[in-house]
């Protein structure tokens, strides 16, 4: 916990992120470049899905990251409400749009994958529908945190929402899964590749790690901006 407390101080966090960001950005760009190369030229065609499996290399990690992002919002919310970590509010404000963006990428790439696979741009597949609801939960968090003149009030309201949301997410997922099996034939291919061969797994994991680095980069960058922005607002309020 000592490490976390070290970072909980906004000033120290800012110094940390300023040191880390340039190197992290460079590493992220490099890994993404290699990942794209692998996705397009190294990974073979899938037995069932042909070339469209390449979309999976972006779609699946985006799904993972958007879900992890919401878990992060909930953890930060708990940290804010229980321990009153000053940085938790700022990081939550920074991270929510990042998670929402990954959810949007997941939805759009899923839609583009669906078109050649099933013939339509949208199917009420259980996972896509759950992701859509997660996207709405993100929108609610973003809107709520910015709906008040006092940013602190918005931060704490959004923290409560994130905690309630994270409890409800498994429930929502369960009910959408149930709803989907009721209404759709079971023969529809699931959106994750059924047979994970090594030649597919390696690019997938590489892209997952690369996108995770991108996620971390964006959260650190945006948290730094939130720290500065809060200082600016406090200065304006004091003036």
Binding site for another protein (CB under 8 A): 11, 14-15, 36, 45, 50-52, 54-55, 58-59, 62, 81, 97-98, 101-102, 104-105, 108-109, 112-113, 115-116, 133, 136-137, 139-140, 143-144, 147-148, 153-154, 156-157, 160-161, 163-165, 167-168, 171-172, 174-176, 178-179, 182, 214, 217-218, 221-222, 224-225, 228-229, 231-232, 235
To another protein, the closest distance from the beta carbon of 32 in angstroms equals 9
Q: Closest CB to another protein among 1 and 87?
A: 87
To another protein, the closest distance from the beta carbon of 195 in angstroms equals 19
To another protein, the closest distance from the beta carbon of 155 in angstroms equals 10
Evaluate whether 187 touches 179 at the Cβ level (below 8 Å).
Answer: no
With CA atoms as reference, report the closest residue to 130 among 187, 161, 168, 77.
168
The token pair at 155 is 């931060």
To another protein, the closest distance from the beta carbon of 41 in angstroms equals 12
What distance in Å separates the CA atoms of residue 70 and residue 76, rounded to the nearest whole number? 10
Q: Closest CB to another protein among 1 and 237?
A: 237
Tokens 């369960």 label which residue? 174
Q: Closest CB to another protein among 20 and 160?
A: 160
To another protein, the closest distance from the beta carbon of 13 in angstroms equals 11
What distance in Å separates the CA atoms of residue 64 and residue 208, rounded to the nearest whole number? 8
Q: Closest CB to another protein among 140 and 205?
A: 140
Evaluate whether 57 touches 190 at the Cβ level (below 8 Å).
Answer: no
Q: Closest CB to another protein among 150 and 194?
A: 150
Tokens 């938790």 label which residue? 88
Burial class (CB in 10 A: 0-12, 13-18, 19+), 162: buried
Q: Closest CB to another protein among 36 and 64?
A: 36
To another protein, the closest distance from the beta carbon of 135 in angstroms equals 9
**Can you give the length of the chain in residues?**
239
To another protein, the closest distance from the beta carbon of 187 in angstroms equals 19
What distance in Å separates the CA atoms of residue 222 and residue 72, rounded to the nearest whole number? 15
What distance in Å separates the CA atoms of residue 59 and residue 81, rounded to the nearest whole number? 33
Q: Closest CB to another protein among 59 and 85?
A: 59
The token pair at 229 is 């922005």
With CA atoms as reference, report the closest residue to 43 among 52, 59, 61.
52
């Amino acid at each position: 916990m000592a490490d976390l407390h070290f970072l909980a101080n906004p000033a120290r966090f800012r110094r940390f992120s300023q040191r880390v960001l340039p190197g992290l950005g460079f590493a992220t760009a490099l890994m993404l470049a290699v990942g794209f190369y692998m996705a397009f030229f190294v990974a073979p065609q899938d037995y069932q899905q042909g070339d469209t499996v390449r979309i999976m290399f972006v779609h699946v990690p985006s799904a993972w990251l958007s879900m992890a992002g919401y878990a992060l919002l909930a953890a930060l919310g708990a940290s804010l409400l229980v321990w009153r970590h000053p940085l938790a509010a700022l990081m939550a404000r920074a991270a929510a749009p990042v998670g929402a963006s990954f959810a949007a990428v997941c939805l759009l790439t899923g839609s583009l994958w669906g078109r050649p696979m099933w013939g339509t741009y949208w199917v009420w597949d259980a996972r896509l529908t759950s992701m859509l609801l997660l996207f709405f939960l993100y929108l609610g968090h973003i809107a709520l945190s910015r709906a008040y003149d006092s940013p602190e009030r918005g931060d704490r309201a959004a923290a409560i929402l994130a905690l309630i949301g994270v409890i409800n997410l498994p429930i929502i997922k369960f009910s959408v899964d149930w709803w989907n099996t009721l209404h759709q034939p079971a023969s529809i291919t699931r959106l994750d590749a059924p047979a994970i061969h090594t030649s597919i797994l390696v690019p997938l994991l590489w892209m997952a790690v690369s996108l995770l680095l991108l996620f971390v980069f964006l959260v650190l960058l945006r948290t730094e901006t939130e720290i500065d922005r809060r200082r600016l607002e406090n200065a304006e309020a004091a003036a």
